[in-house]
């Protein structure tokens, strides 16, 4: 099987602003070479179950965009097996005990929520790993004496490499060759509600390519928050299908990038039934030579009357070399709808900083408060979750 990036069409709109060379350097040519990471769950509600599906499990039904050059790759990934989280009808999680999923960067997950389940899931990437072959041929003196075990493989971490973990602490890990390619499928049955936080804090040389697909049935609600920081190249593709009357989807995202980090978020929401609502809110803070990309697309199928869809992307640039690309799209085939989009890119509002400094707040503190407030809007329901704030906020001014 050839590398998916190598098979990319000459003009692939969904990947227009992302250089796939970094992906070709680190993501394996065949999905099986990506390996498989474990997945553990905490605070499962009564009746819920997490199970490992065998290889060759039928691929979940999903509808990627025709121009998505990675679609065939993800089909191959599914056939390697996956984890499945089953949430029964009427399942509940308390406010202070959400389901915690600890997963590796290459884990594959299916979430099935029964009718009228009401669950909060916080999903964390554990330390990403690279292929063992990437470490071969290097000087053994550059490694510590004790190896770190990753599943069935042992990887020797360089002494001087440090990568920030999801809890804000630093852990040892390989300095080069880090990658992750994860895929998630979510199926919400009638009346179900799922609040989903997908987070990751990546090292400077990390490449992450991930796809998430969710199908939302009648009266169901899916509330997704993407909170990620760091990484050399991070690409997130989100497909949401509102398949039943009265379904709702909300996608929020916050990204704080510095150095040469590149973050690409592609979100496609398809309204296939009447009286569905969706909103997309993305907040970006970019410093150094960081680059952000947001492509938000709303498709309203014929017959999906009374649709209400909105998308917004706001970016603050902290340097003259930072770059933001916003590409909102509306594709409407019904005549009784309310759809809108907006995008802004600008610099720090000095008037806000002056207001705080006039009240005795030092400039550095005022700037941090300003940026934290700005990004918190992109964390949606998860703004009060310390996990989400730790992923996005610690390194804003580094």
Among candidate residues 265, 154, 263, 261, the one with its CA nearest the CA of residue 212: 265
CA distance 110 to 316: 35
Rounded CA gap, 70 and 209, in Å? Answer: 10
Given this model, what pLDDT does residue 265 score?
93
Cα(33)–Cα(30) distance, integer angstroms: 6
Quote the CA–CA distance of 334 and 320 in Å, as a whole number. 42
CA atoms lying within 13 Å on the CB side of residue 310: 7
Buried b (16+ CB within 10 A) or exposed e, 311-320: bbbbbbbbee
In the DSSP assignment, the letter for residue 274 is: T
385: left (phi over 0), alpha (psi -120 to 50) or beta: beta
Neighbours of 333 (CB within 10 A): 12
Q: What is the number of helices (H) and of strands (E) in the chain? A: 5, 22
Question: Which tokens hold the place of 257?
Answer: 């990038």
> Quick check: 107 and 36 in contact, CB under 8 A?
yes
85 neighbors 188 (Cβ within 8 angstroms): no
Instruction: Compute the residue count for the chain.
Output: 398
Cα(339)–Cα(331) distance, integer angstroms: 10
Say if strands 99-103 and 337-346 run parallel, antiparallel, or are unpaired: unpaired
User: For the purposes of burial, counting CB atoms within 10 Å of the CB of 369, is it exposed (0-12), middle (13-18) or buried (19 or more)?
Assistant: middle
How much is the pLDDT for 222? 96
pLDDT score at 295: 92
pTM comes to: 0.81
Q: Which two tokens stand for residue 256?
A: 């704080």
Q: What is the CA radius of gyration of the chain?
A: 21
Tokens of 368: 């941090």
pLDDT for 181 = 80
Local confidence pLDDT in tens for the 398 residues of the chain: 444 444 444 457 777 888 766 566 666 555 555 555 678 898 999 999 999 888 777 777 777 777 777 777 777 777 777 889 999 999 999 877 899 888 877 778 999 999 999 999 988 776 544 332 222 222 323 222 233 332 322 222 333 333 333 333 323 333 344 777 888 999 999 999 999 998 777 777 788 888 899 999 999 999 999 987 778 888 899 999 999 999 999 999 998 888 888 999 999 999 999 999 999 999 999 988 999 999 999 999 999 999 999 999 999 999 999 999 999 999 999 999 999 999 999 998 889 899 999 999 998 889 888 888 898 888 888 877 777 777 766 555 44
User: Which pLDDT score is estimated for 126?
Assistant: 61
Closest CA to 176 of 112, 226, 129, 233: 129
């Amino acid at each position: 099987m050839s590398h998916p990036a190598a098979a990319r069409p000459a003009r692939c709109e969904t990947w227009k602003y992302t250089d796939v060379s970094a992906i070709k350097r680190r993501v394996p040519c065949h999905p099986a070479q990506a390996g498989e990471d474990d997945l553990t769950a905490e605070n499962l509600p009564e009746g819920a179950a997490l199970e490992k599906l065998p290889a060759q499990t039928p691929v979940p039904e999903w509808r990627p965009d025709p121009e998505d050059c990675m679609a065939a790759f993800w089909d191959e990934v599914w056939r390697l097996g996956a984890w499945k989280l089953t949430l029964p009808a009427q399942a509940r999680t308390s406010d202070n005990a959400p389901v915690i999923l600890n997963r590796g960067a290459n884990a594959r997950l299916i979430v099935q929520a029964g009718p009228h389940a009401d669950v909060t899931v916080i999903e964390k990437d554990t330390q990403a790993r690279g292929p063992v072959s990437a470490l071969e041929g290097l000087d053994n003196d550059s490694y510590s004496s004790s190896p770190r075990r990753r599943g069935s493989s042992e990887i020797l971490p360089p002494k001087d490499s440090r990568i920030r973990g999801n809890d804000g602490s630093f852990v040892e890990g390989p300095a080069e060759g880090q990658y992750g390619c994860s895929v998630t499928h979510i199926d919400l049955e009638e009346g179900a509600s799922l609040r989903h936080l997908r987070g990751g804090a990546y090292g400077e040389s990390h490449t992450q390519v991930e796809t998430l697909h969710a199908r939302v049935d009648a009266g169901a609600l899916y509330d997704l928050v993407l909170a990620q920081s760091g990484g050399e190249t991070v690409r997130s593709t989100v497909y949401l299908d509102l398949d039943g009357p009265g379904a709702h989807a909300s996608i929020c995202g916050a990204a704080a990038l510095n150095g040469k980090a590149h973050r690409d978020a592609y979100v496609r929401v398809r309204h296939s039934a009447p009286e569905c609502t969706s909103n997309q809110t993305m907040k970006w803070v970019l410093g150094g030579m960081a680059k952000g990309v947001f492509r938000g697309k709303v498709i309203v199928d014929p017959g999906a009357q009374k649709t209400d869809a909105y998308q917004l992307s706001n970016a603050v640039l902290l340097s003259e070399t930072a770059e933001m690309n916003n590409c909102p799209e509306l594709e409407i085939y019904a005549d009784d709808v309310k759809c809108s989009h907006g995008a802004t890119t600008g610099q720090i509002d000095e008037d806000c900083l002056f207001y705080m400094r006039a009240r005795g707040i030092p400039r550095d503190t005022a700037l941090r408060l300003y940026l934290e407030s700005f990004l918190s809007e992109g964390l949606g329901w998860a703004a009060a979750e310390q996990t989400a704030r730790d992923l996005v906020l610690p390194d804003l001014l580094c």
